[in-house]
Amino acid sequence: MAVLNKGKSLFPFWGTSINLIMGLDPLGLQTTSEATYSSLFPGISNLTNRLRYYGFYCWLLDFYFQREKKGNSTEQYRFIRRAELMIAIMMQSQRKNVQQITGSNFATNLIATAEDDYFDLADGADRDDPSKTTYWKYPSGAFGQYYSGAMQTLALINTAINEDGDIIYTISQPHQRQKVSGVQLAEAFDSTLTHEIKELFYTNIKTGKLYHSDIPELIAYYSIDVINPDSDEWDLYAEMLLDKDEPSQEIEELFTFSRRETILSLLRLASLNDNKYDWYQFLLSCYLKKLGNDSEPASETHIGWYCYQLNEYWQFACGAIFWAVLQNLYHYHQDQYLPHFVNELSAEIYDEICRGINVNPEDSVIISDVVARMPEGKTEEEIKESIETRASDNPIIAAKNGFLLLFQIYRNNKEQLHPLKEFMSRKQIIRDGNMVDGIMTIHTAKKEELKSFIEQFILRNIIYRHQMVAIRKMGNGTQATHKFIIEEQYIRFIEIFPPRNTSPRMFAMQNIMHDLQVIDEKNMLSQLCQKLLSE
Q: How would you list the strands of the sheet with 336-337, edge to edge? A: 336-337, 490-493, 484-487
Peptide bond into 229 cis (omega under 30): no
Q: What are the two backbone dihedrals, phi and then psi, of residue 502, each rounded to the nearest 5 degrees?
A: -80, 165
C-alpha distance from residue 519 to each of 41, 271, 286, 499 (Å) = 19, 11, 22, 31
pLDDT given at position 1: 41
Distance CA 473, CA 471 (A): 5
pLDDT given at position 162: 77
CA 57 from chain center: how many Å?
22
Closest of 333, 334, 368, 327 to residue 348, by C-alpha:
327
Distance CA 254, CA 246 (A): 9
pLDDT given at position 164: 75
pLDDT tens per residue, range 50-106: 999 999 999 999 999 999 977 789 999 999 999 999 999 999 999 999 999 999 999
Distance CA 535, CA 518 (A): 13
pLDDT given at position 534: 84
pLDDT tens, N- to C-terminus, the chain (535 residues): 444 554 444 444 444 455 556 668 999 999 999 999 999 999 999 999 999 999 999 999 999 999 997 778 999 999 999 999 999 999 999 999 999 999 999 999 999 999 999 999 999 999 988 888 999 999 999 999 999 999 999 999 999 887 777 889 999 999 998 999 999 999 999 999 999 999 999 999 999 999 999 999 999 999 999 999 999 999 999 999 999 999 999 899 999 999 999 999 999 999 999 999 999 999 999 999 999 998 999 999 999 999 999 999 999 999 999 999 999 999 998 999 999 999 999 999 999 999 989 999 898 899 999 999 988 888 999 999 999 999 999 999 999 999 999 999 999 999 999 999 999 999 999 999 999 999 999 999 999 999 999 999 999 999 999 999 999 988 756 578 899 999 999 999 999 999 999 999 999 999 999 999 999 999 999 999 999 988 7
Dihedral sign, CA of 300, 301, 303, 308? Answer: positive
Distance CA 384, CA 251 (A): 42
Number of Cβ within 10 Å of residue 96's Cβ equals: 13
Tabulate helix, strand, coil % of the chain (nearest 5): 55, 10, 35
CB environment 394-415: b (16+ within 10 A), e (fewer): ebbbbbbbbbbbbbbbbbbbee
pLDDT given at position 9: 46
**pTM for this one?**
0.93
The set of residues, in sequence order, having a beta carbon less than 8 Å from that of 430 and lying 6+ positions away, is 32, 35, 421, 424, 436
Q: What is the CA radius of gyration of the chain?
A: 27
pLDDT given at position 476: 58
Q: What letter represents residue 11's amino acid?
A: F
Distance CA 172, CA 184 (A): 9
How many Cα atoms within 13 Å fall on the side-chain side of residue 182?
24
CA 497 from chain center: how many Å?
18
pLDDT given at position 14: 46
- Is 352:367 a contact under the CB 8 Å cutoff? no
- Is 258:37 a contact under the CB 8 Å cutoff? no
pLDDT given at position 103: 95
